[in-house]
Structure 1
C-alpha cells in the first residue's frame, strides 16, 4: 500500500495520469501489476527464459512458470527478444511481438574512427580471439580451455566481470595459460575500443534452455565492430550466417573459430556493420513505439488523438 501511494505521488508530480507501464519480471504479477490501476497500457518485456536459469530449484521454476502465465494473461502487450520466446509466449497472449536486442551503433562507429587501441590490448599479440561481457556459468569455459591448449599461437582475451561459480577451477586454469589474457572490468564507454581490436568475437555459450531462448547482446556488439564471429548454435544467431561461423557442437567450436579467423573479406566486414546499423537501439525504440501507438489507437475512442506520456 505504501508503494502504491508513492507511485501515485510520483505520477502526480510528473503529471502522468494514465502511463504506459512496463513489467520486466514474472514476479511482478503479484507485487506490482495492480500498483498502478490507471495504467493506459501494460507491457511485459521478456528478455530471457526465466525458468531456464540453472541455479533455480524445480519448485521455484514451477512458481515462476505460474507467475508468468498470470502476467501474460493480464498485460495488454508482450515484447520478446527471440523467436523461441515468441513461440513460447504468444499462445498465452495474442498481442506478442518480436523485438530483438540491439546495439549502440554510434559508439562503435566512433570507436572505429579512432585508430588507437587500449594499451593493454595493443600489447597482446595477434590473432586475438575475444569475449566481452559477464563471464558466468553461461559461458562454456571448458571449450575455451581446450581451444587455448590446442592453439597456443592464438591469444584469448577476456573483458568483463567474472562470476565463474562452479567453473571457478576451469577459470583459474585458463588464467594460468600464457596465451590467455584477462583485462578486467572496463568502463562501458571503452568496450567498443576493446572489441574493435579483436580478430574474432566469441559466443562460447553452454547450450541450455536459457541460451537457446536468448538474443545475445554481444552478437550485435561484434557485428557493429565489423569483426567475424565464432558461436555455438544459438537459434537467434543462425539468421546472421555467413557473417557468423556456427559450431555444430561444442567440440566443433575450434572449426568455427578457424573459419572466423579466415573470414577477412572487406565486404563481409562492411556487411556486418550494415547489419548492426539496422539493429541499433534507436531502431528498436521506433519498433516498440509503433507497437504501443498502434495499440493505443486501436483502443482509443473514435476521433480522439493518441499521445504517449
Structure 2
C-alpha cells in the first residue's frame, strides 16, 4: 500500500510518437500526458512511443524517432534499435523497434530504464490496445487503460491487425486493468459487454482553453487571412469518417462562401476525396496545420463544421475539435455523432444533409458576440488539467484500496 506522502511513476504506452507531438500533431494522449506531468503526486513518466507494426513502419520509426533523437538529445539509455532520452524535468521518452522481434526484450529494456531512473510505485498506463502481453511484466503496482475510440472499428488498425484480435485485446484489458477510463459512453459500454463495470470511468476529452485564446497565437497571419468570403471551416484528420458527399453539397450550395479543410488527407481516401471536391472552385485544401498555428486559423472561420459519417467508429469518439471550436467561440454545425450531446444547447446538430446546409446559414445569421461568449463559457471548465486531476485522484484512490 502507498503511504499518503509517496509519489507514483508512470510507464505510459502511447498511441503516437513524441516526434509527431513535437511537430504539432496532438491528441488526447498528448494532452493528458502533459497535464499528468504537472500533477504533484506524479514523480516521473516514461513515455513509450507507439510501437511500430510491420517492417516498413518500423524503418520510418527508426529514422524519425531513434536516429534523430540520438543525434539531438541526451540519452539515458540506448542501443542499436532503441533509445531513451529525457524530454522535460519529469518526462522521459523511450522509442524502439524491438517490438517487431521480441516483446520480452522491450519489457527487459523498460525494466532497465526503471532501474536507471530509480522508479518506485509504478503505474503502467496505456493508450495502445494492440499490445496487451506487457500487462504484469513492467514491475507495475497498477495497470490503467485509457480507451480512446474503438480501434476494432478503425480501418487503419484493422489493416494491421484482425478486428477480432483487437476485440480480444479489449477483453483482456477488461479482465486485467485495475482502472479503465473511456473517452465516450460507447467505449464504456464496450467494456460492459465484456462483463466489466467496476472502476470504468467515462472521462470525456478536454481543451487547453488558454492555447486557443492566446493573442500571440490567434493574431498570427496565415494562408486564409486574405479570404474575404465567409469561411466554412473544418479542422482535423481527413479520413474515412468524413462524409465527402456532404462536403460536396456544402461546396455546391454555398458558392458565395469558401470551404476550408485544414488537416492531413489520408492516402486511403485521397483520390476519392479530391475527385469528389476538386470540381468546386470554393474548396481549399490546406493540409496539416501545426498545433501552435491552429488558433489563428480557427479565429478566421465564420462557422466550424464536423461532417462525420454516422457509424460504429464515430459512435466511439468524443471529437476534440468540438472543444477547440467552442474555446474559440465559433458557431458549430455537426452531424449527430457521439459527444455532441454534451453541448447540444450551444451547437447546431443536423438531422440529415439538407438540414446541415440549412443550419450552416442559420448559424451564420444568428451569430453574435453574446453567443460567442456563451460558447466559450460552456467549455471553459472542461480543461485537460481538470481531466488529469480527476484521473490522478481515481488512480490514487484505487492504489489505497488494493
Please, what TM-score do these two structures have when normalized by structure 1?
Answer: 0.89
State the partner residue of 2:377. 274
Alignment partner of 1:209 is 2:321:
no
Structure holding more strand per residue: 2
Contact preservation (8 Å) 2:314, 2:338: no
Contact preservation (8 Å) 1:135, 1:164: no
Provide closer, same or farther for how the CA distance between residues 186 and 115 of structure 1 changes in structure 2, counting only shifts above 3 A.
closer
Q: Which 5+ residue runs of structure 1 have no aligned equivalent?
A: 300-309
Q: Which runs of 4+ in 1 moved over 4 A?
A: none
Q: 2:247 aligns with which of 130, 133, 144?
A: 144
State the partner residue of 1:70. 172
Q: How does 1:99-118 map to 2 (within 5 A)?
A: 99-111=203-215, 116=219, 118=221
State the partner residue of 1:162. 265
Q: Quote the RMSD (CA, aligned, Å).
A: 2.0
Contact preservation (8 Å) 2:218, 2:299: no
Distance 1:170 1:130 in 2: 16
Alignment partner of 1:60 is 2:162:
yes
Structure holding more helix per residue: 1
Provide closer, same or farther for how the CA distance between residues 115 and 53 of structure 1 changes in structure 2, counting only shifts above 3 A.
closer
State the partner residue of 1:307. none
Q: Which 5+ residue runs of structure 2 have no aligned equivalent?
A: 1-103
Contact preservation (8 Å) 2:222, 2:297: no
Aligned length, in residue pairs: 295
Distance 1:168 1:68 in 2: 33
Residue 115 of structure 1 and its aligned partner are, at CA, apart by 6.8
Distance 1:12 1:119 in 2: 47
Contact preservation (8 Å) 1:226, 1:269: yes
Q: What's the secondary structure of 2:287's corresponding residue?
A: coil
Bigger RCO of structures 1 and 2 (CA < 8 A, at least 6 apart): 1
Distance 2:151 2:317 in 1: 10
Residue 93 of structure 1 and its aligned partner are, at CA, apart by 4.1
Alignment partner of 1:80 is 2:189:
no
Distance 2:252 2:105 in 1: 57
Distance 2:281 2:397 in 1: 56
State the partner residue of 1:4. 107
Distance 1:288 1:173 in 2: 43
Q: 1:284 aligns with which of 379, 387, 395?
A: 387
State the partner residue of 2:350. 247
Distance 2:248 2:191 in 1: 36
Residue 168 of structure 1 and its aligned partner are, at CA, apart by 2.1
Distance 1:233 1:139 in 2: 13
Provide closer, same or farther for how the CA distance between residues 75 and 93 of structure 1 changes in structure 2, counting only shifts above 3 A.
farther
Please, what TM-score do these two structures have when normalized by structure 2?
Answer: 0.69
Contact preservation (8 Å) 2:245, 2:276: no
